[in-house]
């Protein structure tokens, strides 16, 4: 009876219908429009069957075809790793490649009308206000101070593990720490991720995030949502927890602000929510949507990159040593300096001098991009620079993971971790085209927090690497990825630290 449970029947039906539809489309499009569309590399079923190793599977396809189609029940999915096509989608014909109904429909339950999910005027407004806020000196100084304080806290946690001779699951530490910093900078609130409320928010947000991704491979998610069944039922509960938590913070902040409004001595607040409220933006739903998009943007991306980076540091101890020395030289600290002194000496000037650290973080993002595949929707019939046509309604995606590993783009050593590929002859960091190194996207929708993320990752890494030496713990036998909307290390990263 178990074998014929409802999810099994739904999945088998979905597979059968998808297969028949795909064969039909393959024959129809193949015969009717020969040579005009990108080659078909498989069907949505292949993605479902390879879900656990999706990015490796997609890299194999990308090595066969720079741009290819995957047939799905209702539409084609076009995947490209060709920088010319990427530039065309992200910049040249930007208005034709938005989130569209396809992505909006899947992301909206969790992220509402936040900057990640919308196009057109709604996107432009949020982008304009947020870009301005992100470029102010006020936010820069405030966020650097928050990063330095958090880095010290992180170092204290690692220090406790050293004292008790325990391994540290460092991905978990990074995830909690980036969530706390994002809360402080966005909302001006001290979130305690170890409190019951903090843990519930964090786990509910992660769960909702994971189910959102699963919607991309589960053709029956809408039916399940309608029936309030399985993962979708769970997601609904998680979203309720997340929403209520953020609404409560917004309400408190509004009350605080209205009390302070009449007080001319009140300090100007630096967090993003206060800045939106000061601009008389008071619709709680709109504010909640903006905030959740920023939380999803800033939390897991940075935490996952830091985790992969520390994995690389453990694999390459000589490089780890070199970066620790670079940090000591850039900050001018000595062997007897305390962690607080070290953290306080990480000024903007010192960060600029950490070129090797910058290159190593970038090389990490080339091989382990936090967003390994990034999708758009084609809004009207079009032709790519490679001469192939794309239909209105097709899902179109570029692939940072596959692109980062292609020999045609990076040379024979594409699979190797070599930060020096980012350095010029003077050892200074050398930019690459954002249409080839696509970890932060490119064009008008390029990641708004790129500088912010580098600053945070450099401050965290500088404090930890100048203080401790890291190696993989014995329990960390293999490292596998797990994708939610962002890329994680499955089961976390267990490391042993010792003082330098």
Q: Closer to ligand HEM at the Cβ: 18 or 304? A: 304
**Considering only residues 96, 177, 301, 473, which one is a binding residue for ligand HEM as defined by CB under 6 A?**
301
Q: Closer to ligand HEM at the Cβ: 225 or 445? A: 445
Q: Closer to ligand HEM at the Cβ: 175 or 302? A: 302
In the complex, the smallest distance separating the C-beta of residue 240 from ligand HEM, rounded to whole angstroms, is: 24
302 binds ligand HEM (CB under 6 A): yes
Distance of CA 455 to the CA centre of its chain: 16
Distance of CA 43 to the CA centre of its chain: 26
In the complex, the smallest distance separating the C-beta of residue 301 from ligand HEM, rounded to whole angstroms, is: 3
Token readout for 230 is 């399985």
58 binds ligand HEM (CB under 6 A): no
Q: Closer to ligand HEM at the Cβ: 298 or 492? A: 298
If you write DSSP's letter for every residue of 99-157 in order, what string do you get? -HHHHHHHHHHHHTTSTTT--HHHHHHHHHHHHHHHH-HHHHHHHHHHHHHHHHHHHHH
Which region among 194-202, 242-250, 334-342, 367-375 touches ligand HEM (by CB under 6 A)?
Answer: 367-375
Q: Residue 138 CB: number of other CB atoms within 10 A?
A: 12
54 binds ligand HEM (CB under 6 A): no
Which region among 298-306, 327-335, 381-389, 419-427 touches ligand HEM (by CB under 6 A)?
Answer: 298-306
Q: Closer to ligand HEM at the Cβ: 219 or 297? A: 297
Q: Closer to ligand HEM at the Cβ: 355 or 438? A: 438
**Considering only residues 89, 238, 239, 370, which one is a binding residue for ligand HEM as defined by CB under 6 A?**
370
Q: How many CA atoms lie within 13 A of 98 on its CB side?
A: 17
In the complex, the smallest distance separating the C-beta of residue 12 from ligand HEM, rounded to whole angstroms, is: 33
Q: Residue 467 CB: number of other CB atoms within 10 A?
A: 25
If you write DSSP's letter for every residue of 51-74 in order, what string do you get? GGGHHHHHHHHHHH-SEEEEE-SS
**Considering only residues 174, 294, 388, 398, which one is a binding residue for ligand HEM as defined by CB under 6 A?**
294
Cα torsion at 142, 147, 149, 153 (round to 10°)? 160
Token readout for 166 is 């325990």
Q: Closer to ligand HEM at the Cβ: 41 or 297? A: 297
Q: Closer to ligand HEM at the Cβ: 148 or 224? A: 148
298 binds ligand HEM (CB under 6 A): yes
Which region among 341-349, 369-377, 468-476, 490-498 touches ligand HEM (by CB under 6 A)?
Answer: 369-377
Per-position x/- string for 80-119, each x denoting binding to ligand HEM as judged by CB under 6 A, each - no binding:
-----------------------------------xx---
143 binds ligand HEM (CB under 6 A): no
Who's near 389: CB < 8 A, 6+ residues apart? 33, 36, 37, 381, 382, 383
Whole-angstrom Cα Rg for the chain: 23
Query: Is residue 183 within 8 Å of residue 190, measured between CB atoms?
Result: yes
Q: Residue 274 CB: number of other CB atoms within 10 A?
A: 18
417 binds ligand HEM (CB under 6 A): no
In the complex, the smallest distance separating the C-beta of residue 437 from ligand HEM, rounded to whole angstroms, is: 11
List % helix, strand, coil for the chain (3-state, nearest 5).
60, 10, 30
**Considering only residues 78, 273, 371, 395, which one is a binding residue for ligand HEM as defined by CB under 6 A?**
371
Buried b or exposed e, range 79-111, using 16+ CB within 10 angstroms: bbbbbebbbbbbbebeebbbbbebbbebbbbbb
Residues 205-264 contacting ligand HEM, CB under 6 A: none
Buried b or exposed e, range 357-367, using 16+ CB within 10 angstroms: bbbbbbbbbbb
Closest residue to ligand HEM, judged by C-beta, is 449
In the complex, the smallest distance separating the C-beta of residue 389 from ligand HEM, rounded to whole angstroms, is: 23
297 binds ligand HEM (CB under 6 A): yes
Token readout for 74 is 């209702």
Q: Which residue has the tokens 């382990």?
A: 368
In the complex, the smallest distance separating the C-beta of residue 292 from ligand HEM, rounded to whole angstroms, is: 11
**Considering only residues 305, 364, 473, 496, which one is a binding residue for ligand HEM as defined by CB under 6 A?**
305
Query: Is residue 370 within 8 Å of residue 305, measured between CB atoms?
Result: yes
Question: What whole-number distance in Å separates Cα of residue 352 and Cα of residue 348?
Answer: 6
Residues 431-470 contacting ligand HEM, CB under 6 A: 439-441, 445, 447-449, 452-453
In the complex, the smallest distance separating the C-beta of residue 370 from ligand HEM, rounded to whole angstroms, is: 4
22: annotated binding-site residue? no
Binding-site positions for heme read 447
Chain residues in the site for ligand HEM (CB under 6 A): 115-116, 127, 294, 297-298, 301-302, 305, 365, 370-371, 374, 439-441, 445, 447-449, 452-453
Binding-site positions read 447
């Amino acid at each position: 009876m178990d074998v014929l449970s409802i999810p099994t029947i739904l999945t088998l039906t979905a597979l059968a219908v998808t297969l028949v539809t795909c064969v039909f489309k393959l024959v129809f499009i193949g015969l009717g429009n020969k040579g005009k569309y990108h080659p078909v590399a498989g069907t949505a079923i292949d993605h479902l069957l390879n879900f656990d190793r999706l990015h490796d599977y997609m890299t194999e396809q990308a090595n066969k075809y720079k741009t290819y189609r995957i047939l799905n029940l209702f539409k084609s999915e076009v995947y490209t790793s060709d920088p010319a096509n990427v530039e065309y989608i992200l910049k040249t014909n930007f208005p034709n490649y938005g989130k569209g109904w396809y992505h909006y429909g899947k992301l909206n339950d969790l992220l509402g009308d936040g900057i990640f999910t919308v196009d057109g005027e709604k996107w432009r407004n949020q982008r304009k206000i947020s870009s301005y806020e992100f470029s102010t000196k006020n936010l820069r100084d405030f966020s650097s101070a928050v990063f330095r304080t958090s880095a010290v806290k992180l170092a204290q946690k690692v220090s406790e593990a050293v004292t008790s001779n325990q391994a540290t699951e460092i991905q978990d530490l990074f995830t909690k720490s980036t969530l706390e910093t994002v809360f402080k900078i966005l909302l001006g609130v001290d979130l305690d991720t170890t409190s019951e409320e903090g843990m519930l928010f964090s786990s509910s947000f992660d769960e909702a995030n994971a189910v959102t991704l699963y919607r991309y491979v589960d053709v029956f998610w809408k039916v399940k949502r309608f029936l309030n069944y399985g993962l979708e039922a769970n997601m609904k509960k998680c979203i309720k927890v997340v929403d209520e938590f953020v609404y409560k913070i917004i309400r408190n902040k509004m009350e605080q602000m209205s009390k302070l409004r009449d007080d001319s001595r009140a300090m100007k607040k630096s967090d993003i929510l206060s800045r939106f409220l000061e601009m008389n933006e008071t619709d709680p739903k709109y504010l909640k949507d903006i905030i959740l998009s920023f939380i999803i943007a800033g939390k897991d991306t940075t935490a996952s990159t830091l985790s992969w980076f520390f994995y690389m540091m453990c694999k390459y101890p000589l490089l780890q040593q070199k970066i620790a020395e670079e940090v000591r030289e850039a900050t001018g600290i000595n062997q007897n300096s305390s962690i607080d002194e070290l953290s306080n000496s990480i000024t903007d000037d010192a960060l600029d001098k950490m070129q090797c650290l910058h290159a190593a973080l970038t090389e990490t993002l080339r091989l382990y991009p936090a967003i390994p595949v990034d999708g758009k929707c084609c809004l009207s019939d079009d032709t790519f620079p490679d001469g192939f046509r794309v239909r209105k309604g097709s899902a179109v995606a570029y692939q940072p993971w596959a692109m980062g590993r292609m020999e045609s783009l990076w040379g024979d050593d594409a699979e190797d971790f070599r930060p020096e590929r980012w350095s010029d002859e003077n050892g200074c960091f050398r930019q690459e085209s954002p249409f080839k190194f696509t970890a932060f996207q490119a064009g008008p929708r390029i990641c708004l927090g790129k500088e912010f993320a580098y600053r945070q990752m450099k401050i965290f890494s500088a404090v930890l690497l100048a203080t401790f030496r890291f190696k993989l713990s014995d329990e960390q036998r293999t490292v596998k990825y797990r994708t939610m909307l962002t890329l994680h290390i499955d089961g976390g990263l267990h490391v042993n630290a010792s003082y330098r």
